[in-house]
Structure 1
Amino acid sequence: MGLVSGLEVIDECVSRGLVAGAFNTTNIETTMGIVQAIENTGVPTFIQVAPTNAVLSGYDYIYDMVSRRLASVDVPVALHLDHGRTLDDVSESLAAGFTSIMMDASGYEYDENVALSQQARGLTPAKYALEVELGSIGGKEDDHGPELEFTTDPAQVAGFVEATGCEMLAVSVGNVHGYAPNVRVDMDLLRKVQEASAVPLVLHGGSGLPSEQLARLHEFGVVKVNVASDLRNAMIRTFGEAYVANPNEYSLIRVSRQAVTAITDVVEARIRTFNPKIS
């Protein structure tokens, strides 16, 4: 099948009552683990990279790696720009072949957020999906965090969605980036945001949220949940344990394959948690 538009992933999930995981990659091991889990579950998914991670290889390498692995996969998967902060991020990822875009101007005042999101909409082809953010999600991603954290105001949602022309709305409802095991989603606020939004919602910071909340997100109009920290920890842990067990370990391929398995297990578990009704 190969890569599809983010719109196709959204439509498939909405029609089937599914929640797509959105899993961050930076390298071949992570990509292989994510895709294996997608094949195991058959659930439409986003694979994504943020500009802070794309500095390692550039967007072209990420596209080549992901698209090559997906060429024989019969499940809809989109390649998503996560937390594009600038219009250059949007343009460069689209030029590389990305099929879904996030413009994150949530660090600006409301009017500037709208203006930058509108410009991103103009750059993003109508056949692709645009995600924007209203409210400012706390925590840190790749050691970067917002200057201010504030929740999404339901009273602003309808106007923001209409003005930006987005297909997905990322919201701040108690979720935070990174791994924060004591964090909980304010489900009452999430419901109010859902009722005000004409488009499906996105929840960032899926690594630290409790399973019982993750399993209910489909009830609240959430179509996409971002997970990064769990995958990165699985890979780092695998290599760390291999070194502790044998400081003279030299078989990179053996440990790399173990890391792929660890990442597959994490991703598959998350997909099944988001979608408790799948077999």
Structure 2
Amino acid sequence: MALVSGMDIIKECTSRGLVAGSFNTTNIETTMGIVAAIERVGVPTFIQVAPTNVALSGYEYVYDMVSRRLASCDVPVALHLDHGKSLESVEGALAADFTSVMIDYSEYPFEENIRVSSRAREMCPPGVSLEAELGSIGGKEDDVAPEHASYTNPEQVKQFVEAVGCDMLAVSVGNQHGYAPNARINFELLAKVQAESPVPLVIHGASGLPSEQLARLHEFGVVKVNVAADLRNAMIRSFGEAYAANPNENSLIRVSTDAVAAIADVVEARIRTLNPSVA
């Protein structure tokens, strides 16, 4: 199946009461592992890449890699730009035919966030979904951390969403980027944000959240949950264990295949946790 619009993923998940995992790819092994898991479970999904991870290849290579693998996959998948910190990154992803983008100006003042996020909305062709962020999510992603983390203010949510015209809203409600084992969702705050938001919500930083919290997110208008650190850890651990077992190992394909399997297991477990109704 060809890549689908991010809007298609949002509509299907909201209509079926599902939560789309959004999994960061970095290379061919990660992509293969993600798609293998998607095929096992059958839940519509986002595959995403952050600008920090296209430095090696560029957006076009990521598009080619993902779209080629998805040609034999029957599950709807959208290709998403994660944490576009500039309009230039949004432009680059759109030029490469990404079907969903995120503009993240959450570290800037409210009015500036609206101004730049609205411009990103104007740049998106019909059908390309836009995610924006209100409230700055803490923790580190690719060793990049916000200067100031802050919770999402429910009183600003409706005004922000209506002014920007975004299709999804990323929120800061106790979630943190990277592997943050002490992170916890403030469900009271999340419920207040949900009550004010005209669009579905997005939770970043799922790698550090306990499974029992992830399993509740569908109750709070969450349509998309980002997972990155767990996948990267699975791949690095797989290669590290191969080296520890045999420092003279030279079969890269065997080690890479093991890494794909490890990534697939992590992705499948996350999708099932996010969707308790899926058998």
Q: Same fold (TM over 0.5)?
A: yes
Q: Which amino acid aligns with 2:214?
A: L
1:174 aligns with 2:174: yes
Give the corresponding residue for 1:211.
Answer: 211
| Aligned counterpart, 1:79 | 79
Amino acid across the alignment from 1:98: F
Unaligned runs of 5+ in 2: none
Q: Distance in 1 between matches of 2:143 and 2:126?
A: 33
> C-alpha offsets along residues 16-75 of structure 1, whole Å, 9 cap, x if unaligned?
100000000010000000000000000000000000011111100000000000012111
Q: Secondary structure at the match of 1:47?
A: strand
Partner deviation per Cα, 1:97-120 (whole Å, 9 max, x = no partner): 100000000011000000000000
Q: Which residue of 2 aligns with 1:260?
A: 260
Equivalent in the alignment of 2:34: 34
Q: Using the alignment, how far apart are the partners of 2:64 and 2:231 within structure 1?
A: 21
Where do residues 112-191 of structure 1 align in structure 2 (5 Å cutoff)?
A: 112-191=112-191
User: Do structure 1's residue 49 and structure 2's residue 49 form an aligned pair?
Assistant: yes
SS at match of 1:127: coil
Partner of 1:242: 242
* 2:193 paired residue number: 193
- What's the CA shift for 1:126? 2.5
In 2, Cα distance between equivalents of 1:107 and 1:126: 27
Distance in 2 (CA, whole Å) between partners of 1:260 and 1:127 is: 31
1:106 alignment partner AA: S
SS of alignment partner, residue 55 of structure 1: coil
Q: Percent identity over the alignment?
A: 72
Paired with 1:125 and 1:169, the residues of 2 have a C-alpha distance of 19
- Count of paired positions: 279
Q: TM-score, normalised by structure 2?
A: 0.99
Q: Which runs of 4+ in 1 moved over 3 A?
A: none
Q: Please name the residue that 2:278 is paired with.
A: 278
Tell me, what secondary structure is at the counterpart of 2:147? coil
Deviations 1:76-115 (A, max 9, x none): 1000000001111001111111000000000110000000
- Give, in whole Å, the separation in 2 of the partners of 1:203 and 1:168: 10
User: What's the CA shift string for 1:238-274, capped at 9, x where partnerless?
Assistant: 0000000000000000000000000000000000000
1:182 aligned counterpart, secondary structure: coil
Q: Aligned letter for 2:53? A: N
Residues 119-159 of structure 1, C-alpha deviations (whole Å, 9 max, x = no match): 00010112110000000000000000000010000000000
Question: For residues 198-251 of structure 1, what are the alpha-carbon distances to aligned partners after superposition, in whole Å with 9 as ceiling and x for unaligned?
Answer: 000000000000100100100000000000000000000000000000000000
Q: Distance in 2 between matches of 1:24 and 1:55?
A: 15
CA distance in 1, matches of 2:153, 2:260: 40
- What secondary structure sits across from 2:105 in the alignment? coil
Root mean square deviation, CA, Å: 0.4
